[in-house]
Amino acid sequence: EVQLVESGGDLVQPGGSLRLSCVASGFTFSDHYMDWVRQAPGKGLEWVGRIRNKANSYTTEYAASVKGRFTISRDDSKNSLYLQMNSLKTEDTALYYCVRVHRYDSGHYVLDIWGQGTMLTVSS
């Protein structure tokens, strides 16, 4: 079964740090780009960032709201994706989803497999 399982969500004080993890199973993790998408309570979806695969040098992209504070990394040997979050703000409070990116030959990138999310709360 294709699956993504996130972990690491917690209650953190403003200015603090936290690392989220996502473990993939049921597919060749190393082949795929991976995204993080978040959803604040009762709000819409916000793309956080992307990490490409080894063939594309593990390069990353970030939303402006997190650039310089968040870092996405991966360990293909462990089928794992990470999101290191520093200088956390109250507005970072959200459910964080780990998402597989599927690239079609047409050049379209589809967010086709989603985890169930892990909750980060930033509050004093």
Q: Kindly list the residues in this chain that would bind another protein in the complex (CB under 8 A).
A: 35, 37, 44-47, 50, 61-64, 97, 104, 106, 108-112, 114-117
Shortest Å distance, C-beta 101 to another protein: 9
Of 61, 62, 83, nearest in space to 74 by CA: 83
Cβ-based neighbour number of residue 47 at 10 Å:
16
Helix (H, G, I), strand (E, B) or coil at 20: strand
90 vs 116, beta carbon nearer another protein: 116
46 vs 76, beta carbon nearer another protein: 46
77 vs 104, beta carbon nearer another protein: 104
**Residues 32/98, Cβ–Cβ less than 8 Å:** no
